[in-house]
Structure 1
């Protein structure tokens, strides 16, 4: 191995006779080494990096010398040159002073810092690094993609031209490497422009399994190192019956700098209702600012609504949307989120994301020490024909402050929750609430191993309300209904003492844990007066997660009045292979029962419904869970849920069953859903599912999917059937989705 510096001589047989001659040789040697280093950078076109590097060039060769008569420096025989993390290997590397070119020939290999590896038969580069050629060009990129060309030319120092180029990210077939890849792109010529930072294809076509499927005379995309550049994005296509019709959207992306961009998307529609043709122009603006990021979007069209039989009744239709998140300081941040539309059908008609309720939110929150503060404002707009905007609440502001102290004497700690809510409606009940809930908790573990937890709390709430129906939770009372307007409040104390004793029994194959739990909850039977509006505690579900909760309601407008004893046990077992089993049973005895429990809630009698959970997962092939609520007085199941998944990843099925009895909001419900999923032949998959209403004896949903996904290509088709129809994708009962995924190119999809 010989390590050459630009100031050293090259051939051992040539001795310097004078300083000018030595200087000339040093200059020649410097150009040789610089040119050889440029070979290391030719593929990535970062020749400036080679010229600017101060690192020495390490050379390994069987022999090296200088032919003074021909003016050629030569290194031959297993030549390897390295600078920094670049390596070039070849049979021969030469520098010709007269033609001012440097070349490498014979088994040329270039190892790049990016992880790319380039192979060639011959490389030639001018000593000004402006022009060069690579013959029989082949490259293995760092992501295992492959690129090949008959030749690669560097022109005027700014362009690289690949002739007869082929690109594919697909790995060769293991059993037959000569087999055609799943897909590849071929082009007569590919031009990579450093100044414009683009890659342009001339006469390009795509082949799948060796069969041409698409041709384009011209195609251009950003350079491989460019993360953002203006240009067309992938189009999407959808076909729907009725009002949506056939739609094609073609986004165009415009970068406005490193911190902001705009996407403009025209949507063309034909065969829709009531107009046979129409369209939408949509735009989205994104920007990063020093302390956050935000997105604003809007769309619009001028046409008649789908339900209007007269297509001449055109009007402006559209939507606006946005979201943002910003840091105010290390401890504070704020954000917003909004989405609104001109009419109920617009978002569904153009597949722009339509939920039953569109939510507008403005919020701020702070985290400091053991405290948390939030301020929020909410507004809603409905897209459901059966709901009304004028009865939707507007909440501004909603304030909450939570504090938990450091543990004090005996491990006890204080807590404080303070809040304010102002809720108004255009039509219906209004409410203003101020609340303060101090609490004190004391956990204790005795020397015997049993665990105690004492909790004391007081809820103090003040309300100002109007149009409140004292006899019901209806927020839109009729004009004939007597309502309450005024100020009211309450002070509600509550205490609880919880005891549990975990017994652990280890074994050779599995470990068991049995834990009996008893809790006493004490509070007066008061304070849920009808004059206090119920806005946030309307939904109640009695299940295994609520048994040992001192407050079983979800919000603040209803307090969990009365006194009771909660009891139950939790048994679990774990085997050495990771399997587990669990059984939980729980119930409450209410010796001072509240008179305000919800109907059919499971807690309206002295002895509440028995709730439980059984879970079993003996191995990775089976996972089953059963949850229930059983009425002991009527000896009747009120709620049952079954979830079962069985089988290996190659073929597994799942069943979900739910039964609700005498539910106030929905009545009795009983449904079952089943699905089958399979993966076969390495890359293929299929799935199917169905949902059946056992009360109405009808199918209420079907689903099916089929796909192929390998390391470079994916094809997926999914279909669903809903008797209700009118989904966000399709205005009919049936919807289908087809997606093609090409690695490094993106997705192309359509919906029907």
Structure 2
């Protein structure tokens, strides 16, 4: 929220309050001999006053202080050449190089300050102020009326620090008049001009917004305007409505050159036990392509994203998330953000909307959740009739600490999926597990474990070939590791070889069981020592298996850390239920490895790799890097998936990069790219120049997207976006 007029309230109240106590004390000192008791009653309000001369003028009943006048009251200091208090009118006037210094170090200046009794009215001539954060304000005059109206004439404000040799700030606001209404806590401007480098850029005949020191107030927010290859020229003007102390609505109408207007509405409300938030928009328009050419019939179109979370008790909560839109490409046509946000217990997939209602409970020895899920597909190949309705998906876990005998738990789960077209499945599961850890002679760690679970599936016989399937799954085994630690003067080293062996039930994956939760599951180094390589329910890894791995870690005293894990898995029997992408097909897995390097903000690297078990060729590689220096900061991610293990049957490779290089104290180059290397397409590309100083940031950017999705094709645009300290952001968000 812009805070351009914080100085108005600050000057006329805090500034004038430094004068009245001075005058009152001057009067008290003169009358102290005749009224000693009165002097005693105002002792706590006294002001330390110093001046070359202090005297009383009986002719006009005034008290006058002249020459290097300095008054100190409750941490506030007033300096002036002359101070006059009129006991008849009860007005005080300070003149000549008036300087008021607050306890926080901020200063106010004026040629003359005059205030009436009880601070109800007054004025300042040649007023200026230096506020916290190096903000500066100047006005030809400042007037305070008894009805709570504060007015400043010919006002200039900037949040940029000013130096004697450079009096032109990066930006400033110049207005003919600014008014603060203390009762409504609203500030209004007449003939306001925003200047950049002393050059007028924006003119607003009228501007009004809440006092930044006030509580939430209704008013216009910063507009957003631009030029789009799809929408044409557009203008968006949000209005913030503070409905109550616990709710608000932001209404954002947007007019566009090529298509009909759109209205956006955001609603937030807090309750005693929780809160809700909704984001929606709607319009009456036909479909249109990436050039803004409309086709088809006009109809109402829109979207709704929302979520809520409420406490039932200290241990139990319930909530909901809603995601829906009328058209698959609605969010891309109107550049609606937030499609990938998590709005509940479960996250959606890219271009798949998820609506959910859920409840969770967690105590010292249990956890449980249950949810109803509904999906909406936004991909071109999605068929709504084949997407499932999940009612419900539930999980419960109760565990016990058995002391010297380890830990035990019982779990229960259910998943009921129905479709208009395709296989329905109803699953119920009940199981238990046990594990413990022992320290063996020589420093070995020994961790035996056992798990057993029963699953029952009620199926659609016309699709699955069976009306039901019942099975028992389980594993038992142990993990043996030998952690070795070598402390050093400069670096501590840790090395841990480990091996896990387990035996489980065979032939547990009946072909009639529909695979719902393990379609894209991949065995990697995070589950290397798990008895069941699949963490979900529909597929289960039984039979005999052995995993071996080595973890190494080095920690330097300066905080630098390097770690890596390498391992592989062998199985007693190949299970045809596992495909090559799962990394559990055949009798042995590919080689798995992960590595990371942490050097604080200077550099963070993390990578994961999967190498073919036969020739060690690269099957999968993921790497992420982040770095931040005074002159350079960037984050990048690279991935490559070989066609041998790709679910799509084709290789997949891409890179994401975003950063900023500073080549002078003020100027830098910003860049960003999201590239699909395998398809030779730049999903998003951005490059530009940025200017940054103590009070502002300006960016000139070129954006291009080669993404094609049915009727939408490549787009490009130029953007100018900037943010001004204390006035908020204009345009898009800055670098993140």
On whether the aligned pair clears a TM of 0.5, the verdict is: yes
CA distance in 1, matches of 2:33, 2:646: 104
Map residues 645-724 of structure 1 onto 2, 5 A cutoff: 648-651=629-632, 656-669=638-651, 671=653, 673=655, 675=657, 677-689=660-672, 702-724=685-707
Q: Aligned-pair distance for 1:193? A: 1.5
Q: Tell me the SS of whatever aligns to 1:219.
A: strand
Map residues 104-115 of structure 1 onto 2, 5 A cutoff: 104-112=94-102
Structure 2 residue 89 is the aligned partner of structure 1 residue 99: yes
In structure 2, the CA distance between the partners of 1:128 and 1:68, relative to structure 1 (3 Å rule), is same
Partner of 2:283: 301
Question: Which of 442, 445, 452 pairs up with 2:439?
Answer: 445
CA distance in 2, matches of 1:694, 1:156: 70
Partner of 1:151: 141
Map residues 544-583 of structure 1 onto 2, 5 A cutoff: 544-583=525-564
Q: Deviations over 1:126-163 (max 9, x none)?
A: 12533211222222222321111122111224111112
CA distance in 1, matches of 2:262, 2:92: 58
Partner of 1:36: none
Query: What is the count of residue pairs matched by the alignment?
Result: 697
Question: Which of 234, 248, 272 pairs up with 2:235?
Answer: 248
Q: Aligned-pair distance for 1:370? A: 2.2
Q: Deviations over 1:292-336 (max 9, x none)?
A: 221234433333233799867332222333222222222222221
Q: Tell me the SS of whatever aligns to 1:314.
A: strand
Partner of 1:534: 515
CA distance in 2, matches of 1:326, 1:251: 29
More moved, 306-315 vs 355-364: 306-315
Partner of 1:475: none
Map residues 13-52 of structure 1 onto 2, 5 A cutoff: 15-16=33-34, 22=35, 26=38
Partner of 1:387: 382
Q: Aligned-pair distance for 1:657? A: 4.9
Partner of 2:395: 400
Partner of 2:256: 269
Structure 2 residue 329 is the aligned partner of structure 1 residue 335: no
In structure 2, the CA distance between the partners of 1:97 and 1:4, relative to structure 1 (3 Å rule), is closer
Q: Aligned-pair distance for 1:462? A: 1.6
RMSD: 3.5
Structure 2 residue 299 is the aligned partner of structure 1 residue 315: yes
Partner of 1:477: none
Q: Deviations over 1:33-60 (max 9, x none)?
A: 8xxxxxxxxxxxxxxxxxxxx9533424
Structure 2 residue 353 is the aligned partner of structure 1 residue 365: no
- The 8 Å contact of residues 288 and 294 in structure 1, kept in 2 or not, is answered as yes
- The 8 Å contact of residues 23 and 92 in structure 2, kept in 1 or not, is answered as no
In structure 2, the CA distance between the partners of 1:542 and 1:735, relative to structure 1 (3 Å rule), is farther
Partner of 1:325: 309
Q: Aligned-pair distance for 1:694? A: 5.8
Q: Aligned-pair distance for 1:697? A: 6.1
- The 8 Å contact of residues 305 and 345 in structure 1, kept in 2 or not, is answered as no
Question: Which of 250, 257, 267 pairs up with 2:244?
Answer: 257
More moved, 521-530 vs 634-643: 634-643
More moved, 739-748 vs 676-685: 676-685
- The 8 Å contact of residues 227 and 717 in structure 2, kept in 1 or not, is answered as no
Q: Tell me the SS of whatever aligns to 2:533.
A: coil
CA distance in 2, matches of 1:426, 1:86: 75
Structure 2 residue 454 is the aligned partner of structure 1 residue 460: yes
CA distance in 1, matches of 2:416, 2:388: 10
CA distance in 1, matches of 2:648, 2:300: 38
Q: Aligned-pair distance for 1:458? A: 1.1
Structure 2 residue 618 is the aligned partner of structure 1 residue 637: yes
CA distance in 2, matches of 1:383, 1:674: 23
In structure 2, the CA distance between the partners of 1:549 and 1:166, relative to structure 1 (3 Å rule), is same
More moved, 396-405 vs 114-123: 114-123
Q: Aligned-pair distance for 1:188? A: 2.0
Map residues 226-237 of structure 1 onto 2, 5 A cutoff: 226-237=214-225
CA distance in 2, matches of 1:656, 1:94: 74
Q: Deviations over 1:8-35 (max 9, x none)?
A: 994479742xxxxx49x949x98xx8xx
Q: Tell me the SS of whatever aligns to 1:545.
A: helix
Gaps of 5+ in 2: 1-20, 340-349
Q: Deviations over 1:550-583 (max 9, x none)?
A: 2221311111212111111112223333333333
- The 8 Å contact of residues 240 and 732 in structure 1, kept in 2 or not, is answered as no
Question: Which of 163, 169, 172 pairs up with 2:159?
Answer: 169
Q: Aligned-pair distance for 1:182? A: 0.3
Q: Tell me the SS of whatever aligns to 1:347.
A: helix
Q: Deviations over 1:78-114 (max 9, x none)?
A: 6555555555444554321123211233443334577
Structure 2 residue 268 is the aligned partner of structure 1 residue 286: yes
Q: Aligned-pair distance for 1:670? A: 5.1
- The 8 Å contact of residues 698 and 722 in structure 2, kept in 1 or not, is answered as yes
CA distance in 2, matches of 1:245, 1:211: 28
CA distance in 2, matches of 1:15, 1:647: 70
Structure 2 residue 134 is the aligned partner of structure 1 residue 139: no
Q: Tell me the SS of whatever aligns to 1:410.
A: helix
In structure 2, the CA distance between the partners of 1:616 and 1:375, relative to structure 1 (3 Å rule), is closer
Partner of 1:123: 113
Q: Aligned-pair distance for 1:731? A: 5.0
- The 8 Å contact of residues 61 and 76 in structure 1, kept in 2 or not, is answered as no
Partner of 2:210: 222
Partner of 2:13: none
Partner of 2:729: 747
Q: Tell me the SS of whatever aligns to 2:531.
A: coil
CA distance in 1, matches of 2:436, 2:446: 8
In structure 2, the CA distance between the partners of 1:706 and 1:390, relative to structure 1 (3 Å rule), is farther
CA distance in 2, matches of 1:114, 1:459: 67
- The 8 Å contact of residues 474 and 542 in structure 2, kept in 1 or not, is answered as no
- The 8 Å contact of residues 82 and 88 in structure 1, kept in 2 or not, is answered as yes
In structure 2, the CA distance between the partners of 1:88 and 1:503, relative to structure 1 (3 Å rule), is same
- The 8 Å contact of residues 406 and 434 in structure 2, kept in 1 or not, is answered as yes
Partner of 1:351: 335
- The 8 Å contact of residues 726 and 732 in structure 1, kept in 2 or not, is answered as no
Q: Aligned-pair distance for 1:359? A: 1.4
- The 8 Å contact of residues 7 and 26 in structure 1, kept in 2 or not, is answered as no
CA distance in 1, matches of 2:424, 2:579: 22
Partner of 2:347: none
CA distance in 1, matches of 2:529, 2:481: 11
Q: Aligned-pair distance for 1:399? A: 1.7
CA distance in 2, matches of 1:692, 1:279: 33
Structure 2 residue 457 is the aligned partner of structure 1 residue 492: no
Q: Aligned-pair distance for 1:65? A: 5.4
Q: Deviations over 1:180-232 (max 9, x none)?
A: 11001112221111123222222221211111222233222211212422222
Q: Aligned-pair distance for 1:678? A: 1.0
CA distance in 2, matches of 1:156, 1:459: 79
Partner of 1:42: none
In structure 2, the CA distance between the partners of 1:65 and 1:439, relative to structure 1 (3 Å rule), is farther
